[in-house]
Structure 1
Amino acid sequence: MLEVAGLTKRFGGFTAVDAVSFSVAPGEILGLLGPNGSGKSTTFNCIAGMLRPSAGSIRLAGQEIGGLPAEECCRRGIGRTFQIPRPFRTLSLLENAVLAAHYGAGGRIDAAEAERRARDALRLAQLPDDPNATTQGLGAAGLKKLELARALATQPKLLLADESLGGLDAGEMRQAAQMLKRIRDERGITIVWVEHIMGVLLSVVDRVVVLDHGAVIFRGTPAEAQEDTKVAEVYLGPPESRAA
């Protein structure tokens, strides 16, 4: 579904992403892990068309998309959430999702089809599709669900979930993780999940890619990641500092 090869992004003399390569099979959930500043969001932004890569290739279902603008990437089947939800506060939940549906995959659609897609996305995200339901009173978990619903309304082949656990308590984290797994299982949507919180994510994903300072330091299963020395150092610090 997705093949990233030699992806590099420079900002002036600073290399934020350094020759990153990984692939994602159709229907897989891949965890893209790393501490803050490791290059996860920059990698996401290049895949989603928010940033133009400095070098490398990004292929979606065999077609090169590296350097295409975000709206074209969306139309080709990439949906994404953002770490900080920014819904349209003057619109209802349904209107937020309808607006996303109009900009999604498959070209122009009429109002009835946009509403159908929006209602379906809200139900998947366990939010009301009542036209009168608003964003007022939504807590962190509700806003994350709306962010997910808007992404799902675009009819993605590939969903990029950006730090879906941030700001949630332990119970909400487990619910969010299981929701992503259910969406993959029920709809067959391929998911790349960027996160810096390892625990809950590792119980859901099929494979893990770990970044540090813009480079890949690990690829493998969740179980292998938990036993890997480099991964432990990235998250816990070198052995001598842990002993202290």
Structure 2
Amino acid sequence: MLTVSNLTKRFGGFTAVDHVSFSLEQGEILGLIGPNGSGKSTTFNLIAGTLAPTEGSISFLGQEIGGQRPMDVCHLGIGRTFQIPRPFKRLSILENVAVAAYYGQNGRVSRQQAWAQAEEALGLVNLPTDAKASVDGLGAAGLKKLELARALATQPKLLLADESLGGLDEQEMDQAADMLSMIRREKNITIIWVEHIMGVLMRVVDRVMVLDHGEKISEGLPREVASDPRVVEVYLGSERVEIAETGEARA
């Protein structure tokens, strides 16, 4: 579905992403991890069109998308969430998602279809579909769900989930992780998930890729990556991961 080859992004003399290559099969969940400043969000921004690559190629369903505008990338079938939700405060929850459904598909659906798709997306994330339900009543977990619903309403084939667990408590983290797994299963959406909270991510993803200082330092199954000495070194002092006999990751 997605092939990234020698992806590089430089800002002046600083290299944020350094010749990163990976591929993604349809239906996979790929976990993208690394310490702060490792290049995770920059990689997302390059795929989503927010930034143009300095070098390298990004191919989505056989089409080169590197350097295309974010709206065009979205219309091709790549949806994304953001670390910090920024809903339209004057719109209801349903209206926020309906706007994403309509404009995220380049007006290819009617307003009535956009409303229906918004209701479906809200149902997937367990948020109210009442047309009068206000954004103001949402806490951190609710805003993360709204962000996810807006991305899902664009009907993506590939979802870029950027730190969906930030600001959530342990129970909310588990619920959010289960939600991503359910969305993959029920909607057949391929997912790249950027996350700092390694323990929760590792029990959901199929594969893991690790960035450090813009370079890919490890890629493989969760158990393999968690035992990679370079990954342990990167996370030493902040977060260590132990893989239980069941294969579950624990932070």
Q: Is 1:75–1:107's contact at 8 Å kept on the other side of the alignment?
A: no
1:105 CA displacement: 3.4
Match of 1:63 in 2: 63
- Aligned counterparts of 2:204 and 2:230: Cα–Cα separation in 1: 22
Match of 2:136, SS? coil
Match of 1:185 in 2: 185
Identify the range of structure 1 (51-60 vs 96-105) with the bigger mean alpha-carbon deviation.
96-105
- Aligned counterparts of 2:107 and 2:94: Cα–Cα separation in 1: 20
- Aligned counterparts of 2:221 and 2:175: Cα–Cα separation in 1: 22
1:35 CA displacement: 0.6
1:107 CA displacement: 4.8
1:202 CA displacement: 0.1
Match of 1:126 in 2: 126
**Equivalent residue runs for 1:46-195 within 5 Å:** 46-105=46-105, 107-195=107-195
- Aligned counterparts of 2:125 and 2:58: Cα–Cα separation in 1: 28
Match of 2:197 in 1: 197
Q: Is 1:105–1:156's contact at 8 Å kept on the other side of the alignment?
A: no
Unaligned runs of 5+ in 1: 239-244
- Aligned counterparts of 1:140 and 1:24: Cα–Cα separation in 2: 30
Match of 2:135, SS? coil
Match of 1:241 in 2: none
Unaligned runs of 5+ in 2: 239-251
Look up the equivalent residue of 1:168 and give its one-letter code: L
Match of 1:40 in 2: 40
Match of 1:136, SS? helix
Look up the equivalent residue of 1:170 and give its one-letter code: E
Deviations 1:90-121 (A, max 9, x none): 10010000110112237522110111111111
Deviations 1:135-179 (A, max 9, x none): 112111000000000000000000000000111111110000000
TM-score normalised by the chain length of structure 1: 0.96
Look up the equivalent residue of 2:173 and give its one-letter code: M
Q: Is 1:27–1:189's contact at 8 Å kept on the other side of the alignment?
A: yes
- Root-mean-square deviation (Å): 1.1
Give yes or no for the alignment of 1:4 onto 2:10: no
Look up the equivalent residue of 1:95 and give its one-letter code: E
Match of 1:182, SS? helix
- Aligned counterparts of 2:23 and 2:236: Cα–Cα separation in 1: 27
Post-superposition, which runs of at least 4 consecutive aligned residues in structure 1 deviate over 3 A? Answer: none
Q: Is 1:125–1:179's contact at 8 Å kept on the other side of the alignment?
A: yes
